[in-house]
Structure 1
Amino acid sequence: MKIGPQHHGASLRRRWGVPLGVATGVTAVSLAAVVVLDGTGDAGQPRGAGPAHSGGGPAAATAPPSPSAPSSPGGRSTEAGFTITDATTTPIDAGTVTKILSSCLGSDASRYHPVVAVRTPLASPDSDGVVVAVDSAGQYVQCQAKGDKGTSPDSPPTFINDRLWGTGRVVEYFDSMMEPAGRGKYLMLGAGHYSSDVAKITISYGDDPKEYPARMAGGAFVYGAALSPDTPPGPRYMGPSPYVHAYDASGKEIYDQAEDPKFTDEQ
């Protein structure tokens, strides 16, 4: 099966929700980011692309790029009919992060410290950034930001899906969504956490093999991208699905979401 928005993309997001207006505490798939505390990665620079995905296979597993390498233009996928116009994120200052967490978490905010906090490449009516924070027990929260205000699609906001960890798991997912961000523009963002043997996480979109580094800190990763369809989309446009790739310290790919049985078994 070709990996594209009409196959994997639609079914993945139907399973997990776009957007995730979940009132039951069930969180979802895959946010690229600049970290507040000790992050890595250049969210605007794509990895060198290998052969196009075919039959659900991964992109070429070459060594991840240096964080200091210059940024490259966004990637295009003619098959999937979209263009990633920007995957660059910028840090949110500490004072604003405090306000975002306070409005998102209320009295629970004091229990959490931020690990990743970014502004996304463009703003939707509801979002222009994201903050991921963690408490002393390793429980994560994810708050969407708009200005200095924060909201969560989870109920209660402090619920997060660490319970989905299992033997041999490398990556687990927090909330993800795609939101309209102006005529012919969409914001894609998502987040998750990773096991200790992961040194680098990248994101590809649809059947385009180009990979964009996510931001990583404190066991959490975040990604964000600006997307434009190559032709005017219909009213039910779902866009391409984001695919998470994880690499160990040697540059070997140890996880490809497109081959994760959690998703492929339901296709």
Structure 2
Amino acid sequence: MKIGPQDNGASLRGRWGVPLGVAGGVTAVSLAAVVVLGGTGDTGPEAAAPAHGGGSPAASTTAPGPSASSAPGGTSAEAGFTVTDATTSPIDSGTVTRVLSSCLGPQASRYQPVVAVRTPLAAADVDGVVVAVDSADQYVQCQSKGDKGTSPDSPPTFINDRLWGTGRVVEYFDSMMVPAGEGRYLMLGAGHYSSDVARITVSYGDDPKQYPARMAGGAFVYGAALTPDTPVGPRYMGPSPYVHAYDASGKEIYNQAEDPKFTDGE
């Protein structure tokens, strides 16, 4: 259910990429800024009210392995669900340091954190995400559990070998959905946005409600707790998350559900 950089297929949950030559100011973001400001997003009533939805309108995407709608013996992504919480909170500076140290080992000193948040629900192996960047504008995403960190990638870094396509606004890091107790699931993901973006939100499945993502230093992170509306099988894959980006005027300039990278199966 987690798509990593070794996978070449496109999916609404898993395909990621990082632009080459990210703005140099990213590496100057301080740890204090991450902890004190916590990035932007996921505050206010928009993130607090539960939302109900059905399946993904793009359930036929080409993720490695069976799609949610075709998993034998499982539950289709068409099953209804409730987003019970989509609010993340900042991780304190001392914990961020320990997360990066355990995630990256001796390489940790090369990286400056830009976004560090706790997810609204803790799973067995993850309760937060730390995104950091080095002087070469290479990002790393570390999943946290308490003050320990692990990377979904090996080696634990995103190599910036993918150029922005013409007009690209958002690129993706890793995303995942994991069980978090009986009948509950944690969805989380991260990515990078261009300088044109002032706000990023995430919707789930065919529900139009959008939840703010945390943003800082050119990176964004989102997390949500959801509950299927009916009992599901062990292969339940849940709804697809859809990233939306807005410019400073409030105009939507990107909608993942309409991104040819995913809808055309490229």
Q: TM-score range by the shorter chain?
A: 0.7 to 0.9
Percent identity between matched residues is 77
The code of the aligned residue for 2:140 comes to V
Aligned to 2:205: 206
CA drift at 1:163: 1.9
Residue 95 of structure 1 is matched in structure 2 by 94
Structure-1 residue corresponding to 2:41: 41
For 1:157, what is the secondary structure of its paired residue? coil
Within the alignment, does 1:73 sit opposite 2:46 as a pair? Answer: no
Spell out, residue by residue over 1:81-137, the C-alpha distance to the aligned partner (whole angstroms, 9 max, x if none): 000000111111100100100111111110101110011111111100000001122
- 1:240 alignment partner AA: P
Change (3 A) 1:161 1:184: farther
For residues 107-186 of structure 1, what are the structure 2 equivalents within 5 Å? 107-160=106-159, 163=162, 165-186=164-185
Q: How far apart, CA to CA, are the structure 1 residues paired with 2:161 and 2:123?
A: 28
In structure 2, relative to structure 1, the CA distance for the partners of 1:146 and 1:140 (3 Å cut) is: same
Corresponding residue number in structure 2 for 1:49: none
- Structure 2 CA distance, aligned partners of 1:78 and 1:154? 31
Please say if residues 203 and 223 of structure 1, whose CA atoms lie closer than 8 Å, have aligned partners that are also in contact.
yes
- CA distance in 1: counterparts of 2:196 and 2:83, whole angstroms: 29
Equivalent residue, structure 2, for 1:4: none
Q: Cα–Cα, structure 1 residues 129 and 224, in superposed 2: closer, same or farther, change >3 Å?
A: same
Distance in 2 between the 1:144 and 1:74 partners? 25
Three-state SS of the structure 2 residue aligned to 1:208 is coil
Work out the CA distance in 2 between the residues paired with 1:162 and 1:213. 28
Any unmatched runs of 5+ in structure 1?
Answer: 1-17, 47-70
| Aligned equivalents of 1:138, 1:26: Cα separation in 2 | 22
Q: Structure 1 44/146 Cα, relative in aligned 2: closer, same or farther at 3 Å?
A: farther
Residue 243 of structure 1 deviates from its aligned partner by 0.1
User: What's the TM-score once normalised by structure 1's chain length?
Assistant: 0.77
In structure 2, the residue matched to 1:3 is: none
**For residues 114 and 37 of structure 1, what CA distance do their matches in structure 2 show?**
13
- Deviation above 6 Å: which 4+ runs of structure 1? none
Comparing 151-160 with 231-240, which one deviates more in the overlay? 151-160
Q: Is the 8 A contact 1:24 1:155 kept in 2?
A: no
Matched residue of 1:209: which SS?
coil
CA distance in 2, matches of 1:118, 1:240: 22
Q: Secondary structure at the match of 2:221?
A: strand
**Residue equivalent to 2:2:** 19
Distance in 2, Cα, partners of 1:229 & 1:255: 28
Cα distance between partner residues in 2 of 1:201 and 1:35: 17
Deviation at 1:159, TM superposition (A): 2.7
- 8 A contact 1:37–1:217 mirrored in 2: no
Pairing of 1:187-266 with structure 2 (within 5 A) = 187-266=186-265
Over the aligned positions, Cα root-mean-square deviation in angstroms equals 2.2
Deviation, structure 1 residue 44: 6.3
Runs of at least 5 residues in structure 2 that lack an aligned partner in the other structure: 17-32, 56-77
Aligned partner letter, 1:104: C
SS class of match (1:198): coil
In the alignment, the residues of structure 2 paired with residue 194 and residue 162 of structure 1 have an alpha-carbon distance, to the nearest angstrom, of 16
Whole-angstrom distance in 2 between the partners of 1:230 and 1:24: 33
- Aligned-partner Cα distance in 2 for 1:160–1:109: 16
Q: Given the superposition, is the C-alpha separation of residues 182 and 139 from structure 1 closer, same or farther in structure 2, using an over 3 Å criterion? A: same
Give the match's secondary structure for 1:163. coil
Counterpart Cα distance in 2 of 1:102 and 1:146? 13
